[in-house]
């Protein structure tokens, strides 16, 4: 799964990397502890131009009467995304890229202790996570919301968790964003085993109130 992220790139760097026009209301960076329900950085395309824009992390189906009217949908499983009523229209029509520097995952000891790991691209590039999005409105309240698409973990990730986000390579961005026609379903697979690296980080990140660059510093495991 993907339940916590870090984003350290400046807005202009993200805009340049993804060839996207940046919005003027993007979340502050860096943020070493990005949690669900906050605004995150995403890339969308209308076929002619890309936008770097904020979205609420936590997909809201159109039938939700309030933001807390059902489960918090921060992830969408690739295996069932085309069948689930909450996601099936979005995966056909509203796909996005979620930009991150890395994400966190946890292993659990027999005594219940949760040990956090930081996962990032081995080549130092930002993560381009497959996402879906949807606009949601109730009365005067409105949000642009999104979820990260996940799949079965590759070999390195299985040491930590059985799920992982779908990670898009640069050559796949046009297809996922709908710029290169249909067939994006083939991209919903695990990354190659040599794409990611990971290491243990301090348990301070277990708190969603923790901040600071030390959250992504490696510790002896």
The 10s digit of each residue's pLDDT in 55-82 is 999 999 999 999 999 999 999 999 999 9
Distant-in-sequence, close-in-space partners of 94: CB < 8 Å, separation ≥ 6: 44, 132, 133, 134
Specify if 117 maps to a domain.
yes
| Structural domains in the chain (count) | 1
Active centre residues (catalytic): 2, 105
| DSSP 8-class letter at 27 | P
Q: Which two tokens stand for residue 120?
A: 């990032």
Average pLDDT, stretch 183-207?
Answer: 96
Closest listed residue to residue 178, CA positions, set 95, 99, 88:
95
Please report where in the chains the tokens 């807005």 appear, as a residue. Answer: 11
Q: pLDDT (tens digit, 9 = 90+) per residue, 120-176?
A: 999 999 999 999 999 999 989 999 999 999 999 999 999 999 999 999 999 999 999
Specify if 194 maps to a domain.
yes
Length of the chain: 221
Strand ranges (E), 89-140: 95-100, 102-108, 114-121, 127-138
Specify if 16 maps to a domain.
yes
Residue 28 sits in a domain whose CATH number is 3.90.1680.10
Q: How far is it, in rounded angstroms, from Cα 87 to Cα 75?
A: 10
Distant-in-sequence, close-in-space partners of 152: CB < 8 Å, separation ≥ 6: 79, 162, 163, 164, 190
Specify if 221 maps to a domain.
no
Q: pLDDT (tens digit, 9 = 90+) per residue, 24-39?
A: 999 999 999 999 999 9
Q: How far is it, in rounded angstroms, from Cα 169 to Cα 154?
A: 15
Query: What domain range includes position 28?
Result: 5-216
Specify if 17 maps to a domain.
yes
Specify if 189 maps to a domain.
yes
Q: Which two tokens stand for residue 53?
A: 């824009």
Specify if 211 maps to a domain.
yes
Q: Is the peptide bond before 30 cis (omega within 30 degrees of 0)?
A: yes
Tell me if the pTM is above 0.85.
yes
End-to-end CA distance of the chain: 22
Closest listed residue to residue 116, CA positions, set 209, 34, 215:
215
């Amino acid at each position: 799964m993907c339940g916590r992220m870090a984003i350290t790139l400046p807005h202009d760097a993200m805009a340049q990397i993804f060839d996207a026009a940046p919005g003027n209301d993007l979340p502050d960076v860096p943020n070493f502890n990005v949690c669900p329900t906050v605004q995150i950085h995403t890339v969308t395309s209308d076929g002619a131009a890309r936008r770097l824009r904020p979205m609420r992390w936590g997909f809201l189906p159109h039938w939700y009467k309030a933001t807390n009217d059902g489960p918090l949908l921060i992830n969408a499983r690739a295996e069932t995304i085309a069948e689930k009523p909450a996601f099936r229209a979005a995966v056909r029509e509203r796909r996005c890229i979620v930009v991150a520097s890395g994400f966190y995952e946890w292993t659990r000891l027999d005594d219940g202790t949760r040990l956090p790991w930081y996962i990032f691209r081995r080549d130092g590039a930002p993560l381009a996570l497959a996402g879906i999005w949807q606009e949601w409105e109730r009365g005067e309240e409105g949000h642009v919301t999104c979820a990260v698409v996940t799949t079965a973990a590759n070999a390195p990730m299985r040491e930590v968790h059985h799920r992982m986000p779908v990670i898009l390579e640069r050559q796949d961005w046009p297809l996922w964003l709908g710029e290169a026609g249909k067939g994006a379903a083939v991209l919903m697979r695990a990354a190659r085993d040599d794409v990611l690296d990971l290491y243990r980080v301090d348990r301070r990140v277990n708190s969603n109130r923790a901040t600071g660059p030390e959250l992504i510093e490696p510790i002896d495991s």
